[in-house]
Structure 1
Amino acid sequence: MKEKVTESMQKFSRAVITPVKFMAVMGLFLAVAVILQLNFMPSFLQTLGTLIKTMMDSMLNNLSLIFCVGIASSLADKKKVEAGLLALIAFLIFLAANNAWLTMNEMIAEAGEMGLFGTGQGVVLGFQVVDMNVFLGMIIGCLIGYLHNRFSNVELHDILSIYGGSRLTFMISIPIILILAVVLCYIWPVINGGITSLSNVILTTGLLGVFIYAFGNRFLIPTGLHHLLWMPFCFTALGGTAEINGTVYSGAANIFYAEMANAGSIAQLDPSLRFATFGFAKIFGSVAIALAMIYCADKTRKEEVKGMLLPSMFVGTIAGITEPLDFTFLFVSPLLWLVHSLITAISETLLWALGARTYMLYGLIDTVVSNSVFSPSVTRFYLVIIVGIVMGVLWFFTFVFLIKKFNIKTPGRETIQTAAADVQILGTGTDEQRVIEGLGGPENIELVTNCFTRLRVTVKNPEQVDKRVLESLQQSKGVVTNGNNIQVIIGMGVQPFKERVCEILGIQE
């Protein structure tokens, strides 16, 4: 039971991150648009900035729909396009049913001076409905993903064949969506009250809350469940709610993006920003940790270790994807990972205590561009640089001390295997062929997916998995096993790697 719950949480975790990956692009273009609209810019550039901002606003204001389609498509084992289309249809008919029920029962809220703010209702794609924000997209996306996997392969008799497969899923989803649309008219206001209360508690716990959030967000990365912590705080009402220029936004990242779009009128950033600063460890921690492991490597292997770690350090610092670097020492020493998580928590807490109000969700590029639209007096970015240098030095010397004190076998310090052992472990063929071999062969593989950096596989019999083969792959940076769920850390090239594996297995995505 525990394994099934963990598997479901991990599956939802990697599904919900799919639409989030596009948010980084939106943030960059939104920042560029704001810069182009500055008064000293030529008029044609200001016009271009207005157009780009309008485009990005349309995405920001319809995140619920984007999450709905993205989650359903990601959760679908097969026929992902049909799952995404079905999610879109389900989202639309939910809005229509929810609005119709509110109207028929005279439950439609009247807009006040601040519009529908505070009424518990909002306008989505022209429908006034119960205001569930991104939660609506998540709920419908998960529901459609489940129903699609359960019924999309069911074929009916020839006479009724047109109603089989994905059409059967649609037919089953209609009454469920109808019931959901009606029930949530009464249940969601209560749930929303609970979310608001929980959010207020978290937001009022001060520095302790920042420390716990920052520690958990880093420490949970090996499980893949860290997305379940930061995602709600960044994109739902759990991270806070703010009214900006007449529109209500929920979640730390969404609020910041809205503030970017109205940078000229923002004198102080919303306190929800405390949940969107975990890029600090990605930028400064990645550099310090990589340099520490290079410093501790054997002299004869330093160049080899540089070739291994510097690209991972670059990706972590610039793009904010730290898993390729994390998994070079995580499994070697859980102690280093614990210390890394503690230093991360101390850093973010210190930043907030000193008054830094800098958005840092991803890497250096996103951080610099996004914060450039505000005055340094608003973001206090200089504090980030000062604290980053100080904590970077602490990261470096702490890692060097622990690695040498406990003789931790970080890259360049491990025992080199004999050639005979290498041949036995490595097997034959390409990395894609060997990963299939290490997973117990094609007949042992049920499902192949991926997230940012991990190849995620569900196997029938975990006892047939040869972890040594998986760890010996040239592209492998570590292996995580949890019952029937196997994760092979590949890095940023995991998507084409997965596609080649699926091609060899004859799996159609």
Structure 2
Amino acid sequence: MMEKLQRFGGAMFTPVLLFAFNGILLSFAIAMQSELILGTLASEGTFWSNIWFVVESGGWTIFNNMEILFVIGLPIGLAKKASARAALASFVVYMTWNNFIAGILSVWGNQFGVDYSQAVGGISGLKEIGGVKTLDTNLIGALAIAGLTVWIHNRYFDKKLPEWLGVFQGTSLVVIIGFFITLILAFITAWIWPPIQDLISQAQGVMANSGSIGVGLYVFLERILIPTGLHHFIYQPFEYGPAVVEGGLVPYWMANLNEIASSTGSLREIIPEAGFGLHNVSKVFAPIGIGAAFIATAKPENRKKTFALVLPTALTAIMAGITEPFEFTFLFLAPQLFAVHAVLAGLLSFTLYSLGVSAVIGGGLLSNISYFIIPMASNHLSAVLLFFGVGLLFSVIYFFVFRFAITKWDIKTPGRETSGEAKMFKKADYREKKAQEKNSNDNRSSHNEKSTSIDPNAEKAIQFLEGLGGANNITAINNCATRLRVSVADESLVADPDFFKQHGAHGLVKKGTALQVIVGLDVPQVRDYFEKEVENQKID
């Protein structure tokens, strides 16, 4: 079950990766139309304002079509074969379901407690999706129908029909089955979803008013679940789902950014729900303290190497919000430190919210500049100063806590290894069979002879496949933002984590037959080559 949840969470991240650019662009375009920032240059109707309005219009593409994005993106990660065809089927089945709901409500809306004549949005419970006026089932409906379609696809895509019915097999059969199932589901949805919308509305009020403790607990849970891959299920309903505001915190913050920036008073009073957008704050400030502790506790002869190793990963974390190299390092070496990190991250957001800061903070400093710092600098400068002041204070706390723990328990963080080699991940106690070592060397030679690609990502894919026991040992392939997630048939065939680090990985997470090769931001490209290599080897 855990493996399936991890796979689902990783698949959800496929469309989420598209949000970063649009989010930064959109917040910047909105800021460029603010008279608070640019004065009369940004007045309504000026050439400057009109140009940025056009840019903003394009930026909303992702956020206005999130349901469709997930409906198409989820099958890419979950389909066991022909994922592109699964994505097409998923879109068709999802829109068929919405059209069924639209037809049902236009005829029997009153019987289901829905006034279908109302305009979309607001308290109507209606939304226009792909040009269809339907119930606003947000990501819940999109994920449910996409998951259903993937199940149908995996089960029936290869189903052989009689010759005279051959035109209906493959993707057509998946869509046909989906048609009849969603017809039934549409009636069920029209019946049960309006009451569920009422419950969601009530839950939003509870979450929005849960105070500093609620915000701190939310951030703690989001951090502590990272090793399991289940943290997606914590933050995505808040950022892109209906957990605290309809449509998700990120789109809501963008849509109201100028209004929020123009207001006066405490941000917590203006938009208390945005306290749940503070979960990314630790990504900016934790790496400063943690990285400094790694360098300070390294052996003198290894300090320069450790600095060279820590600096790029720290900058990546601070600027882009990719913190996994740090988090997995001390997760492997000392799980208690990871727990401390989760607690400190929760306390950081708790403190900021208690002091009146409530804002959707981007994943790294780059997005923070356009999401928060520039727009809020005029009327909410105190919130910006608190963000940096409290954040840097916690960087100092991180440094002293981690330095104390590393020296107290002699934790072999980078630069403290007995081998004298600075590395971001400690060698885990996994044993590789001697026979596998020989087999790995033979396979490596064979693969190198076959491979004509000089692309480093292709080389990584070949070596990773070798370390995972070859194509016949692979049962499932997926990825999230930085990790290649693979399930294997026989875990004893998997090479030592050092093997993966020697060939470009940051490390290996092993949970039985479910493995995660920590690749970095190139993981989508590595996965593509990896899948092709698996196919090629199985054909050979």
TM over 0.5: yes
1:10 aligns with 2:6: yes
Moved over 4 A (4+): 261-269, 424-431, 468-472
Separation in structure 2 between the aligned mates of residue 496 and residue 502 of structure 1, nearest angstrom: 10
Separation in structure 2 between the aligned mates of residue 503 and residue 303 of structure 1, nearest angstrom: 39
Letter in 2 for 1:440: G
SS in 1 for 2:375: coil
Match of 2:370 in 1: 369
1:161 aligns with 2:154: no
SS in 2 for 1:33: helix
| Aligned pair partner of 2:467 in 416, 438, 463 | 438
Separation in structure 2 between the aligned mates of residue 225 and residue 106 of structure 1, nearest angstrom: 37
Q: Deviations over 1:96-137 (max 9, x none)?
A: 11010111214351666x865223333333433222122222
1:83 aligns with 2:80: no
SS in 2 for 1:373: helix
Separation in structure 2 between the aligned mates of residue 444 and residue 72 of structure 1, nearest angstrom: 23
Q: How does 1:424-435 map to 2 (within 5 A)?
A: 428=441, 429=444, 431-435=460-464
Q: CA deviation at 1:442?
A: 2.1
Match of 1:104 in 2: 107
Match of 1:244 in 2: none
| Aligned pair partner of 2:416 in 392, 413, 416 | 413
| Aligned pair partner of 2:15 in 14, 19, 29 | 19
Letter in 2 for 1:325: F
Letter in 2 for 1:364: L
Match of 2:427 in 1: none
Change in 2 beyond 3 A, CA 1:445/1:189 = same
Match of 2:73 in 1: 70
CA contact (8 A) 1:288 1:395 kept: yes
Change in 2 beyond 3 A, CA 1:491/1:35 = same
Match of 1:214 in 2: 219
Alignment: residue pair count: 493
Q: CA deviation at 1:289?
A: 0.7
Q: CA deviation at 1:185?
A: 0.4
Match of 1:125 in 2: 130
**RMSD (Å), alpha carbons:** 2.6
Match of 2:393 in 1: 390
Separation in structure 1 between the aligned mates of residue 318 and residue 145 of structure 2, nearest angstrom: 35
Letter in 2 for 1:152: F
CA contact (8 A) 1:286 1:316 kept: yes
Match of 1:41 in 2: 41
CA contact (8 A) 1:76 1:148 kept: yes
Letter in 1 for 2:93: A
Separation in structure 2 between the aligned mates of residue 262 and residue 71 of structure 1, nearest angstrom: 34
Greater mean deviation of Cα atoms: 217-226 or 140-149: 140-149
Structure 2 unmatched runs, 5+: 422-430, 445-458
Q: CA deviation at 1:292?
A: 1.0
Q: CA deviation at 1:182?
A: 1.3
| Aligned pair partner of 1:176 in 178, 181, 202 | 181
SS in 1 for 2:115: coil
Separation in structure 1 between the aligned mates of residue 168 and residue 83 of structure 2, nearest angstrom: 18
| Aligned pair partner of 1:223 in 215, 224, 228 | 228
Greater mean deviation of Cα atoms: 408-417 or 263-272: 263-272
1:254 aligns with 2:255: no
Q: CA deviation at 1:468?
A: 4.2
Match of 2:455 in 1: none
Change in 2 beyond 3 A, CA 1:321/1:116 = closer
Greater mean deviation of Cα atoms: 225-234 or 254-263: 254-263
Match of 2:307 in 1: 306
Separation in structure 1 between the aligned mates of residue 319 and residue 460 of structure 2, nearest angstrom: 27
SS in 1 for 2:216: helix
Structure 1 unmatched runs, 5+: 242-249
Q: CA deviation at 1:256?
A: 0.7
Q: CA deviation at 1:196?
A: 2.9
1:353 aligns with 2:354: yes
Q: CA deviation at 1:153?
A: 2.4
Q: Deviations over 1:39-80 (max 9, x none)?
A: 533733322111111222343222211221112222223222
Separation in structure 1 between the aligned mates of residue 274 and residue 291 of structure 2, nearest angstrom: 28
Separation in structure 2 between the aligned mates of residue 256 and residue 402 of structure 1, nearest angstrom: 39
Q: Deviations over 1:409-465 (max 9, x none)?
A: 1011122199xx99x879644654442233222221122222111111111122332
Q: CA deviation at 1:291?
A: 1.5
Match of 1:198 in 2: 203
Q: CA deviation at 1:368?
A: 0.9
Change in 2 beyond 3 A, CA 1:200/1:106 = closer
Change in 2 beyond 3 A, CA 1:431/1:106 = closer
CA contact (8 A) 1:109 1:116 kept: no
CA contact (8 A) 1:109 1:121 kept: no
Separation in structure 2 between the aligned mates of residue 458 and residue 357 of structure 1, nearest angstrom: 40
SS in 1 for 2:413: coil
CA contact (8 A) 1:97 1:178 kept: yes
Greater mean deviation of Cα atoms: 461-470 or 489-498: 461-470
Change in 2 beyond 3 A, CA 1:227/1:483 = same
CA contact (8 A) 1:256 1:270 kept: no
1:187 aligns with 2:192: yes
Change in 2 beyond 3 A, CA 1:33/1:81 = same
SS in 1 for 2:122: coil
Letter in 1 for 2:5: M
Separation in structure 2 between the aligned mates of residue 382 and residue 330 of structure 1, nearest angstrom: 32
| Aligned pair partner of 1:464 in 468, 493, 510 | 493
Separation in structure 2 between the aligned mates of residue 300 and residue 438 of structure 1, nearest angstrom: 32
Separation in structure 2 between the aligned mates of residue 202 and residue 77 of structure 1, nearest angstrom: 37
Letter in 2 for 1:85: L
Separation in structure 2 between the aligned mates of residue 500 and residue 54 of structure 1, nearest angstrom: 35
Q: CA deviation at 1:363?
A: 0.4
Q: CA deviation at 1:33?
A: 1.6
